[in-house]
Chain A
C-alpha cells in the first residue's frame, strides 16, 4: 500500500486550463470611516457594523459629495452607474488578462459575462463587444442575477466551451458594481449590505490545448454544486423605494458552513482525494462570519484562507468577482508546484454553494 501523501493521480490531462487572470477596480478607494462620514452616519449600531466587519477599504463608485455628503441616487442613476462602471472596469480587467499573452479581444472565441448588481438589456457582452472590438462572430452568454456564487457557474460555461472547442479561447468576465445596489434607508439590514460589498471586475481566460504544461496554468478538472432549496429566501433582492435592495439572512453564514462539507465531500471523494491532498483553497470573501463557518466546518486554517481574508479586507465582498481576486493573489505568490491541487468555493443566493477542482 502506498502512503497517501505520495499519491498523485494524473487528472484529466486534456482538461481546459486557466491561462490568465486580470482584475480591476474603480479609481476611488474609501475606508469604512470615510464612507460613514460621506453618508453622515451617526447611529452607533450602523457605525459598529461598518467598523467591525474586518474590511479596511473598498473601491466604490460613490457620487460626488455635495457639502461633504453624498446625495441620494435615483433608481435611474443607479442603473446608469452600473453600466458606466461595468464599461470602465470590465475592459480594464479584460486587458490585464489578455495583454500578458499578447492577445486582443479580436482573438477571443467565447465571451461569458456575469453580473448581479444591475439589470440591463442588451447585456454587458454586447456593450463590451462594441467598446473593445471583439469579433462580430463571437459566441457569448450573459449570466445575470445568480449572485456571489455565479463566478464558478460562469467558469463551468467557459470550461465546457473550451473542452468542446479545443484551441479556442474562452473569456469569463465577472463585473460587479455593488454600489449600484445600495439603498440608504438606515435599516440594519441595508447597513450590513452597504458596509460589505465593493466594486470590482475580474477576468479569467480558458483554453484546451493538449500541448500545454502546468506552467501555463491549472487544469479545471471538475465541478460540484450544492443547492439548499429550503433556504431560497435567505439571500435575495427586494424592492425598496423602487430600488433593488439586497437582503441577507442573519443565520445564512452558518447554514452555508454546515452544508459546505457536502459538495466538498462529493468532489474530493469522486477523485479519491482527502482534504490533506489539497494544497490551495480559493474561497469567496463573503464576509467574516461565513469565512469562519467554512474554516471551522472544513478544518481550513488561517493560512489556507489568507487570500480570502486579505481580499475581504482590501476590497470588501466583490460578489461573483471575489474568488478570482483571491486566485490572482495565489498566482502572484509563486508558491504553486507541478501536481498541486486547488479547490475553489463560492456561495450565494439559492442558497447555493459552487465548488471547482483545479490541478497544476
Chain B
C-alpha cells in the first residue's frame, strides 16, 4: 500500500496490517473535520489495497480521543449538519470495510472515540482506559452510536450510558460487550498482536457477508433474513476458500482427481 502523510493521523504498515493512529497530541486527539477527511482518505486506500488484511485504529501518546473538537465550529455562521453527515459516512466506511478492523484503546476514549470503537470487528483496551459518551450531557447527540450502542449492550444499558453520560472503565466495557479484550498497559502491544493474529486467516467474502448479516440481524424478520442468509451462504460456498476446504476434506484420491479436473 502506498503510504501518505496526514495532518491528523499517523499511518504505518507492518506486513499486511495497517495501523492508523489518531494524532493531534496538542488537543488530546480531538476529532476535527480535517481528521474526518484524513480518515476517509486512508480508509479508501486501505479498501483498495490488495496487500492489507487488517486495519488497526488507535490513539497516540496514551490517549485514544477526547471526542469532537468544538473549536472546529465557526462562531460566524450557524452550524450545519453536513460535516456531521460526512463523519457518519466515514464511520459507515470503516464499519463496512473489506478488511478486518480492530480498535485498540489506551487512556481516554470519549464521545466520537467511543463511536469509532463501536465500528470495529475486534475491540480491545488496556485496563486504565476510560470511556464516556458525554454528548447529551453537553446538549448534543452521540452520532449514530444512538443506532449502534443498544445492539451491543441492550436498550436499558444504552439509555444509561447515553443519557446519564457517566464515565466507565475498560472492565465495565468488557462486561457490557463493548470490548472483547482487556489487558494491562504493559502487555498492550503484545495483546494487540495476538488479537490481530487471531482474526486470521482472512477470507474477504466470508468476513463481508458474516459481518453484514450480523449488523442487520435486528433489522428484519426471520422470513426476510433467511432469504438474505441463503443468498450470502450461496456466495460463500462458491468461493475459492470453500472449494479448497472440500478438496482437503475429500479422500486423497478424490482430491487428486478433482485437482486434475
Contacts and interface: CB of A to CB of B under 8 A. Distances in A.
A299 B93 CA distance: 13
B235 A5 contact: no
A65 B212 CA distance: 47
Interface stretch (A14-22, A290-298, A316-324): A290-298
Interface stretch (B62-70, B136-144, B222-230): B222-230
A3 B234 CA distance: 34
A295 B209 CA distance: 11
Nearest to A261: B235
A254 B229 CA distance: 12
Interface string A38-55: 000000000000001000
Contact of B228 (A254, A276, A292): A292
Given A1-B2, A274-B48, A296 B232 contact: yes
B44 A4 contact: yes
Nearest to B93: A276
Contacts of A295: 228, 231
Given A3-B41, A4-B44, A5-B44, A257 B235 contact: yes
Given A52-B223, A296-B209, A257 B231 contact: yes
Contacts of A276: 44, 47, 93
A289 interface: yes
Contact of B234 (A1, A4, A257, A299): A257
A292 B231 contact: yes
A296 B2 contact: no
A292 B96 CA distance: 18
A128 B45 CA distance: 53
Interface residues on A, range: 10 to 19
- Determine chain B's interface SS by DSSP, over half rule: helix
A99 B2 CA distance: 53
Interface in A226-271: 253-254, 257-258
A289 B4 CA distance: 43
Interface in B202-261: 208-209, 212, 223, 227-228, 230-232, 234-235, 238
Contacts of A296: 209, 212, 228, 231-232, 235
B44 A297 contact: no
Interface string A42-77: 000000000010000000000000000000000000
B62 to A, nearest CB: 30
B227 A292 contact: yes
Q: Which of A258, A274, A296, A297 has the most CB of B within 10 A?
A: A296
A274 B46 CA distance: 13
A258 B227 contact: no
Interface residues on B, range: 20 to 34
A258 B228 contact: no
Contacts of A5: 40-41, 44
Nearest to B37: A3
A15 B45 CA distance: 31
B95 to A, nearest CB: 12
A274 to B, nearest CB: 7
Contacts of A52: 223
Interface in B33-62: 37, 40-41, 44-45, 47-48
A297 B231 contact: yes
Contacts of B40: 3, 5
A274 B98 CA distance: 13
A274 B231 CA distance: 22
A4 B4 CA distance: 13
Nearest to B216: A302
Contacts of B231: 253-254, 257, 289, 292-293, 295-297
A29 interface: no
Nearest to A293: B231
Contacts of B223: 52
Contacts of A257: 231, 234-235
B60 to A, nearest CB: 22
B32 to A, nearest CB: 17
B48 A258 contact: no
Interface in B174-216: 208-209, 212
A38 B135 CA distance: 58
Interface string A277-296: 00000000000110011011
A52 B209 CA distance: 25
Contact of A258 (B212, B230, B235): B235
Nearest to B239: A258
A296 B210 CA distance: 11
Contacts of B212: 296, 299
Interface string A295-312: 111010000000000000
Interface of A: 1, 3-5, 52, 253-254, 257-258, 274, 276, 288-289, 292-293, 295-297, 299
Interface of B: 2, 4, 37, 40-41, 44-45, 47-48, 93, 96, 208-209, 212, 223, 227-228, 230-232, 234-235, 238
17 contacts: A1-B45, A3-B40, A3-B45, A5-B40, A5-B41, A253-B231, A257-B231, A257-B235, A274-B48, A289-B227, A292-B228, A292-B230, A292-B231, A295-B228, A296-B231, A299-B96, A299-B208
Closest 9 CB pairs between A and B? A292-B231, A3-B41, A296-B231, A254-B234, A296-B232, A293-B231, A4-B44, A292-B227, A297-B235
Given A1-B4, A296-B212, 4 more contacts: A1-B45, A3-B45, A257-B234, A289-B227
